[in-house]
Amino acid sequence: MTDYKGAVFFDLDNTLLSPEKRIFEDNIEAISQLINNNYLPAFCTGKQKFQLTDLATSAGIDTYICGNGSEVYYRGALVKSLTFTQQQLEHIENRASQDDTTLIWLNANRISATKISNGVKQLCQEMRWPVPPIQQHATFLENINMILTFIDNSDSGIKHELSYRKDFPDFNFMRNSPIVLDTVVQNASKANGIHTLLQHLNLPDLPTFAFGDGNNDISMLKSVNTGIAMGNASDQAAAAADYQTDDYLHGGIPKALKHFGLI
C-alpha cells in the first residue's frame, strides 16, 4: 500500500465539474500533481459508481465514496456498502404512493423512477442524465443505497419534508437541491464514508482535505482536517469549512491546493 502524505476528497457537481459535467482541465492537472506528490485523491459524491466511469478515467482516480457515503471503493474494489432493507423500501414506497411523491431508486449499477414527473425531467436536464426507466416497486430491485425524494423547498414542501423526517427516523434526508432530497440510510454520510476508507487503509491519522459546495458536503467538510468550501458554496457549507477558496468556475481547487502546499 502506498505511503500517502494525505488524502484529498472532491465533491463533483459545482465543485470539480464544469457546467457541462466534465472535469475542468486545470483540475485534471492539479489531480495529476497530487498523485505525483503522493496524495490520494478520491471522489466523494452523491453519484453512483456507474455514473463515474468516464470521470474516473479522465481524472486518473480509482477511489470513490458514492451515494453520499453509502458505498466506498478503493482502487476500484468495493470496501463497504450500506443499503436499504426491503422493509424500509416498502415503507417509503407506500408513503410516497399515498401522497403522490416521486422517488428515484439508485444502486451502484442502475437508476429508475416511480414515474417521470416534471421534477424528474428537470433534474435529468440539469444533471445531463438520460430519463430513467420506470420502476414503481422497489421490491423488484436489489441493493438500493440511495433514493431521490422529490419534495421541493416551497413552504408546503418544507412541511412535507418535516413530516418525512419525523416518520422516517432511520433515513438520512439531505437537501441538496430546491426540488429533491438525497436520501440514504441513517448511518450513511460522506463523513462516515471517509472514516471507513481511512480505517480500511489502516491510516486513521492520515491528513485529510475535502472540497465541497452543498449541504450534503457539510459532514465531510467538518470531518476532515481541512474542509475547503468553494466560493459558490451554500452559506451552511461555507460556515462548516475551515477555508473558502474561489468558485468552481475560476480555479478554486488548484488555487486552494497551492495555498496549502499540496501541489
* Rounded mean pLDDT, 44-61: 96
Paired strand residues for 7: 40, 208
What the chain holds in terms of domains, given with CATH numbers, is 6-81+188-259 (3.40.50.1000), 86-185 (3.30.1240.10)
How many helical (H) and strand (E) elements, i.e. helices and strands, does the chain have?
Answer: 9, 13
* From 87-101, 131-145, 234-248, the region with the lowest mean pLDDT: 131-145
Residue 139's pLDDT is what?
74
Question: Long-range contacts for 122-127 (Cβ within 8 Å, ≥24 apart)?
Answer: 122/179, 123/148, 123/177, 123/179, 123/180, 127/13, 127/21
Say if residue 262 is exposed, middle or buried (CB neighbours under 10 Å; 0-12, 13-18, 19+).
buried
Using the structure block, give the residue that is written with the C-alpha cell 505511503: 3
Residues forming a β-bridge with 23: 17
d(CA 13, CA 26): 16
Kindly state the cell numbers that stand for 240: 462548516
Question: Residue 5 pLDDT more than 70?
Answer: yes
How many CA atoms lie less than 13 Å away from 108 in the CB half-sphere? 18
* Residue-averaged pLDDT of the chain: 96
**Residue 140, pLDDT score:** 76
**Helix H or strand E encompassing 95:** helix 86-99
Cell of 134: 420506470
Digit-coded pLDDT (tens) for 203-249:
999 999 999 999 999 999 999 999 999 999 999 999 999 999 999 99
- Per-residue pLDDT of 168-198, as tens digits, reads 999 999 998 999 999 999 999 999 999 999 9
The mean pLDDT of 49-60, rounded to a whole number, is 96
How does residue 1 score in pLDDT terms, banded at 50, 70 and 90?
A: low
Beta strands in the chain (DSSP E): 6-10, 39-44, 64-66, 71-74, 77-81, 103-106, 111-113, 146-149, 171-175, 181-185, 208-212, 226-229, 243-244
Dist. CA 30–CA 258, nearest whole Å: 9
Distance CA 198, CA 202 (A): 6
CB within 8 Å of 89: residues ≥ 6 apart = 138, 139, 141, 144
CA-to-CA dists, residue 259 to 67, 159, 211, angstroms = 30, 43, 13
